[in-house]
Structure 1
């Protein structure tokens, strides 16, 4: 693989890593206090909607983990694309062990794996780059990206991850922010397959819209976060099941990892596109 092709492969893989690693970018108590469960009439008042969201926040924060299926779609930029993540996610502390599939970021890169695995723990995220790419890194298969400064001034990676920094995959945090939004609206009952829930929406920040489906047990079953930033539209849809499932995530051995930023330096990235 040529030098420029390998750089693009590394950057494309890093873009997917950044998405998976956002689970570890923000921690917090959500800014709300637990509240009792709200009734679910056909249409709830704004006060009742906030009460229901806060109750879901309390249950979610206590659960600390769940199985997830995430679908990410980015549009409106040169870095437009999509990926699916399935696995387990934990919050407090923030960790994730996810399988990455159906990723346009990977499909366009020669030698990149069709399916791979991403691990987020300790403020960093790791991705298995596959055997073919590992031949370029001394046999090391796990690429590490720290949560802060992931783009490192690289134009292509910045484009690929445009808008993603505003997406927070911590469901308790998102519910806390939603409860504090200027206006929380009850959308009414929703069904999908065998899931029955009550839907709520709000805009906790400029350019950010959150919709959450709260199941009959009081836990979120789906969260849809849409953000607009830098001429980019990002939509992250996450389905949650099995709250409280084990989330014992371990980083790969240091001897089998390489640092993404160091790799870019060796490839002479320097903020350009190779």
Structure 2
């Protein structure tokens, strides 16, 4: 790839590796208040029920904040639809000091790095990447922190991680965004996450979780301390993940605003978009 193209993609997408968590996220929900999310239910069973609820989710909105290995402090807000697959995210990273927008529409990934990045794209704000044709380019972009290889992940996978823990315990009851929840906690290794997925999930859910595990393995994280807040309808309202990666600590909290409500994501205007495939073709020409 020409150095100018590498520079543009890096600057446009700086900080978007966050999409892996997000792209990195968990199971979901906002719901009516309740005195206890799992009356008479053992902690492990309550966590398993919440994980099961994630499999039928069609859309969700969430916010996240914390620290990612190699990225520093991050904040983000996102919305995702599973069918059809679409996602919109706005995130800010302390590493770059800038805000990045990311959209996934019709199997294409769009990245907007702000005014400074637009200067290198002839004034156009968005860079388009065809996700189905990324191939080795996707690996290169992921290595540079763009999160392109992770952008199609379903964020419902991470909240199910706690089902693999052998020491799940009930911490107490707490109110999150006005919703009464039960707080659970435990420690789980990625090996146990994979084993739990193999036992109790359908093929689609298992593949989502395995793909999510790969993102953490690339960070060098091999075990996660996890807290989970479950509402009265057995939906995960919030979860927090902590661990140590090759490039620093992981400490991310994801709060779900709502679930199964309409999410519409549109592609940026064609006149304000540069197609990376065409850019490379022109460079080769």
Question: Same fold judged by TM-score > 0.5?
Answer: yes
Assess, with a 3 A threshold, how the Cα gap between structure 1 residues 180 and 122 changes in structure 2: closer, same or farther. farther
Aligned residue for 1:60?
54
Assess, with a 3 A threshold, how the Cα gap between structure 1 residues 186 and 125 changes in structure 2: closer, same or farther. farther
Q: Residue 216 in 1 paired to residue 232 in 2?
A: yes
Give the counterpart of 1:200 among 184, 188, 201. Answer: 184
- Counterpart Cα distance in 1 of 2:6 and 2:68: 21
Assess if the C-alpha contact under 8 Å between 2:184 and 2:229 holds in 1. Answer: yes
- Counterpart Cα distance in 1 of 2:24 and 2:99: 24
Structure ranking higher on relative contact order (CA contacts 8 Å, 6+ apart): 2
Report the secondary structure of 1:105's partner residue: coil
Assess if the C-alpha contact under 8 Å between 1:178 and 1:204 holds in 2. Answer: no
Report the secondary structure of 1:55's partner residue: helix
Over aligned residue pairs, what C-alpha RMSD do you find?
4.1
Aligned residue for 1:170?
155
Aligned residue for 1:241?
257
Assess if the C-alpha contact under 8 Å between 2:173 and 2:181 holds in 1. Answer: yes
Normalized against structure 1, the TM-score is what?
0.65
Assess if the C-alpha contact under 8 Å between 2:121 and 2:274 holds in 1. Answer: yes
Report the secondary structure of 2:239's partner residue: strand
Assess, with a 3 A threshold, how the Cα gap between structure 1 residues 241 and 126 changes in structure 2: closer, same or farther. same
Aligned residue for 1:39?
38
- Counterpart Cα distance in 1 of 2:174 and 2:255: 14
Give the counterpart of 2:75 among 77, 81, 84. Answer: 84
Cα deviation digits, residues 122-153 of structure 1 (max 9, x gap):
55532222344223213332124558767755
- Counterpart Cα distance in 1 of 2:67 and 2:87: 19
Q: Residue 117 in 1 paired to residue 117 in 2?
A: no
Assess, with a 3 A threshold, how the Cα gap between structure 1 residues 18 and 126 changes in structure 2: closer, same or farther. farther
TM-superposed CA distance for 1:213, in Å, is 0.6
Moved over 6 A (4+): 4-9, 260-267
Aligned residue for 1:180?
164
TM-superposed CA distance for 1:256, in Å, is 4.2
Unmatched tracts of structure 1, length 5 or more: 27-36, 108-113, 268-274
Report the number of matched residues: 234
TM-superposed CA distance for 1:254, in Å, is 5.7
Q: Which has the higher helix share?
A: 2
Unmatched tracts of structure 2, length 5 or more: 26-35, 192-221
